[in-house]
Structure 1
């Protein structure tokens, strides 16, 4: 904490954000400790990273521009944060719009790709974390488009999932429990997550179990928005699966 207070002397704002501000959702060893700062000093990013934080640094103008544009990161920083020192710019106002919802939607497949790739590389923490984020993004996207709100807390996400009658609610509840227990993700569970996400998006996707049947030693998977999958193996050979 003393290091953080020292950094406070060099910034206009420093705040924790994300699950670290919600102790009921924070999982030690799995959740990142996210820190946001408004500053022009790029060295502070390295300093915070060396202390084990996951930092985001923006100039005051860049932050205001993000908020006016409706970038979801502004929403998270404004409404899911605890300020340590300084204050947000008084003129800042978040503009939730179609761009906001689309940015959330576009995060789904990269997160799903990271989850499956991590599982294949036996990175258990990343597989669970990115599965959680992909499912969360589905709920936030639908809530953004249908209700013009973005739920943040896990309990609110579960409630919103049921309210919207989404097909991924069981998978989301399961991944929250797996994450809290720091348990590994099984291939069967990952298959269900991929199937549920793609079903919600009304496309057909290749399950991880099928990828393992088709490609020997897969290490990187990229899901496209049309359901196509590109797989790289340990020799960097590429296989496309329709």
Structure 2
């Protein structure tokens, strides 16, 4: 009966070549806890396994989907989490991306409403600041800050200072969320909102939202491609 052989140990340069990172990046990511510590030989040379390569590939996918800081945190936790907790953490990333996509789509709908000059004949349904914050996934303090910065204006404030947001204000708020998520600073968002009544303003903001949707799709596909490597990291905990 043939004995099962263990894969030959990998050098740092081998891991770098297989993962697409540089030798220094492999060492840095090991130091940051993204991959397990390499075994050190008597002469202090590092010795890696194929699992280290898969962990680095998983990190690349997570970093593309969530950013490097969040990816480092997740990879560190996945190595010691139970399968249930690990699967839940990865699923949360998918849910977050789906929510970003949904918000960008709603912002597109708001843009189309502005383009069609939706204003006459709409219903009078309004939302409180708490309801709007919940619908957008932001804090009420964020909505107040946007109001202070001139990005958002309640359509009605009651005698008790309670804010009410009608369809137009809700649509504007969705556009603000999408632009902020796309990396626009407050001045740039203010400029974009001011230009919306103009044809070029509508087109430019529409272009930003289309690009954001494309970017979310790319991040989602990257995360899906990293699935097998993530599973290998979880299974080897």
Which TM-score tier does this pair reach, normalised by the shorter chain? under 0.3
- TM-score normalized by the length of structure 2: 0.26
- Structure with the larger strand share: 1
Instruction: Please identify the structure whose Cα radius of gyration is greater.
Output: 2
Give the structure, 1 or 2, with the largest relative contact order (CA under 8 Å, sep 6 or more).
2
- Structure with the larger helix share: 2
- TM-score normalized by the length of structure 1: 0.25
